[in-house]
Amino acid sequence: MRRIRVGAAVVNQTPLDWRGNARRIEAVLAEARERDVSLLCLPELCITGYGCEDMFHAAGVLERAEATLAALLPSTRGMAVCFGLPVRYLAAVFNAVALVVDGRLLGVVAKRHLAGDGVHYEPRWFRAWPDGGRGRMVLAGVEVPIGDLVFDVGGVRVGFEICRDAWVAERPGQSLSRRGVDVLLNPSASHFAFGKSDVRRAFVAEGSRAFGAATVYANLVGNEAGRTIYDGDALIASGGRIVAELPRFSYRDHGLLVGQIDIERERATRSREISYMPIIGDADGVVVEPFVLAQSGPLAPAAALPAWESGADRKYEEFSRAISLALFDYLRKSRSHGFVVSLSGGADSAACACLVAQMVGFARAELGAEAFAARLSHIDGIDAGDSDAAIVGRLLTCVYQATAHSSQTTRDAARGVAEAIGARFIELDVDELVEGYVARIGAALGRTLDWQHDDVALQNIQARVRGPSAWLLANLGGALLLATSNRSEAAVGYATMDGDTCGGLSPIAGIDKAFLRTWLGWLETQGPEGLAAIPALAAVNVQAPTAELRPPAEGQTDETDLMPYPVLDAIERAAIRDKRMPLEIWRSLMEDFVDAAPTDLALWVERFFVLWCRNQWKRERYAVSFHVDDENLDPRTWCRFPILSGGYEAELAELREAVAQTR
């Protein structure tokens, strides 16, 4: 029996923050040493940060990364540690990990399968390392091997799958297993998406079974570079099961998962597998280091995951925790002094305000009042002795801006939500400003503007008039103005540019309206584990969503302007996520929405495609948003579409012809 103690570290890094990134790595190295870790896996590109984008091609960035690695070498005494960083070899840049043992750099392994879909653009910056390729390079002043390597550290064989390497069918782990690897390290920068952690658990556990090697998986945590959220998964698996796992969505600078693996048991598993056939004569690909990884004694069981991870409300919990963590990191990394929300009394703005309140609740519960205040020390007035509500009042200003078309219902709902969470609430009457613009333009044109001829323009001016006041409040407080548009609105352009889209950050732009409404209902009556429900949301949830931009007598609602939100979301997923054409979507909708008239469904399909094509320019201008699932519409991170296009004219004509034949 030979047991060694392994660690999977998560760190909250920031691109190009050389001192901060090194400091956080040093902190987790110190903790690992205190906890007798022999072999430590750090996340992918942890030295530079994953989101450096085109700066990966800057010679100065590569040089700084190398210098940082060199400075960190002494901190690895008594341990084997892998560091993620970009390296340049033969004029190409590679996404790589360097294995350091007891202060000595042993070699470099580069990523073989680059992530080039969705939020990832790795092939723009890096080159994929070829299977079996090997060479030599100078890094941190030492000549070392680079390539398809296995490291023999005191008789324990260590191999690497770097993030996406483990997601493909032909995983490097297959050949590494045949080369006698005992421990497979997976340094990752794997973005959060709903339910994605289940996929990670599955391939980490299955890899440990199929390859007969213990697997150590380490991810980033937090909002690293602005759009992508990392949930901080850390996993250790052996024999086909997860033996240790770190709670996700931590607000700490780093976290460390420690587990114990039995090297002899891993080898016995491989030797019993009749299909296992080792690769003989692989000496050139093995880097031998005599340093012996210390054996460890008994290890206390890891703490159990929180109950919400296996609960029925997990998606609601993930949404609350992911967006709240992203807001916290965006606030402190941008050194902003708080948030401003134009609170309309409706669902979207209420969701944004409540997420800020949850941010405070989650962060203070985990960090403690004093550490929370220290993390936001750039903001005056954050007192450790204050209540959560008092902190929310310091960080969040909500403004309700009424026009002649605003109702007492939305006014009361906005005030009620703001008071319930402790936010500062300001009420303004902007109708005089609206009427002033309308009168001036009418005079300039020589006619009176009216709803019969000028409907859209008269709606938009009300939304746009509210923008300057919200921006002014944000500027006065050095705060972030949060835009409140959701994904369903973005799909069809149901938003006023420079009106309700005003803001530097759009926290719910990746969420469809149907989900958002059910989440608000859950938040009203239950709420996330550890935080209280917000009953004041009842005044929001009881309403039919409305922009309140037409005269009240018209009874304007979002769904009468557009279509029922469940139908809109179904069309959006089919058209944009699944790339299906209008006629095919109409036929499937008739199966899924049997109570709707086929002619209505056809009208809604056509409306969606027309509005989608017409409004791509709006999506190009939306504020920075967070990625939360693989249905994002952000053209800068996920969904590219031409600003000018043929507008599906032929496809919609085909749809109209098919509908006519059914009458």
CATH of the domain at 13: 3.60.110.10
* Residues 210 and 356 occupy one common structural domain: no
Domain finish residue from 247, 276, 297: 297
Query: Alpha helices of 196-310 — where are they, by DSSP H?
Result: 196-210, 263-272
Identify whether residues 452 and 591 lie together within a single domain.
Answer: no
SS3 263: helix
DSSP 74-105: GGGTTSEEEEEEEEEETTEEEEEEEEEETTEE
Burial class (CB in 10 A: 0-12, 13-18, 19+), 361: buried
pLDDT of residue 663: 73
The CATH number assigned to the domain holding 583 equals: 3.40.50.620
Q: Is residue 558 part of a domain?
A: no
Q: Give the whole-angstrom CA distance, residue 342 versus residue 425.
A: 10
**Residues 168, 231 within the same domain:** yes
Q: Does residue 408 register a pLDDT over 90?
A: yes
Q: What is the per-residue pLDDT across 427-466, written as a single tens digit (0 to 9) for each? A: 999 999 999 999 999 999 999 999 999 999 999 999 999 9
Position 303 in a domain: no
Contact 629, 196 (CB under 8 A): no
In terms of residues, how long is the chain?
663
| Measured distance CA(34)–CA(80) in Å, rounded | 14
Q: Is 483 helix (H, G, I), strand (E, B) or coil?
A: coil
> What contacts 475, CB < 8 A, 6 or more positions away?
none
Residues 631 and 662 occupy one common structural domain = yes
Quote the CA–CA distance of 72 and 577 in Å, as a whole number: 44
| Per-residue pLDDT band at 1 (split at 50, 70, 90) | low
Assess whether 289 and 432 both reside in one domain.
Answer: no
Q: How distant is the alpha carbon of residue 462 from its chain centre?
A: 33
**Model confidence, pTM:** 0.95
pLDDT, position 274: 66
CB burial of residue 457 (10 Å; 0-12, 13-18, 19+)? exposed
Closest CA to 159 of 142, 171, 144, 141: 171
Task: Judge if 591 and 447 occupy the same domain.
Answer: no
Question: Residue 553: inside a domain, yes or no?
Answer: no
pLDDT reported for residue 534: 98
Same domain membership, residue 325 and residue 443: yes
Quick one: average pLDDT of 112-135? 94
Q: Can you tell me the mean pLDDT for 248-268?
A: 94
557 within domain boundaries: no
For residue 548, is it within any domain? no
Convert the pLDDT of each residue in 291-328 to its tens digit.
999 887 778 777 789 999 999 999 999 999 999 999 99
312 shares its domain with 281: no
Are 495 and 590 within one domain? no
> 580 in the Ramachandran plot: left (φ > 0), alpha (ψ -120 to 50) or beta?
beta
Q: What angle do CA 481, 486, 491 make, to 5 degrees?
A: 125
Q: Where in the sequence is the domain holding 401, given as residue range(s)?
A: 308-503+515-543
DSSP 8-state symbol, 274: T
Beta-sheet pairing, 396-402 with 505-506: unpaired
Q: How many domains does the chain have?
A: 3
Q: Are residues 293 and 317 in the same domain?
A: no
Q: Which two tokens stand for residue 460?
A: 């938009």
Residue 510 domain flag: no
Do 536 and 392 lie in one domain? The reply is yes
Q: What angle do CA 605, 606, 610 make, to 5 degrees?
A: 120
C-alpha 454/C-alpha 85 separation (Å) is: 57
The residue among 268, 297, 326 that closes a domain is 297
Assess whether 584 and 490 both reside in one domain: no
Please give the order of strands across the beta sheet that includes 505-506.
424-429, 396-402, 339-342, 480-482, 505-506, 624-625
Cβ atoms of 367 and 251 closer than 8 Å: yes
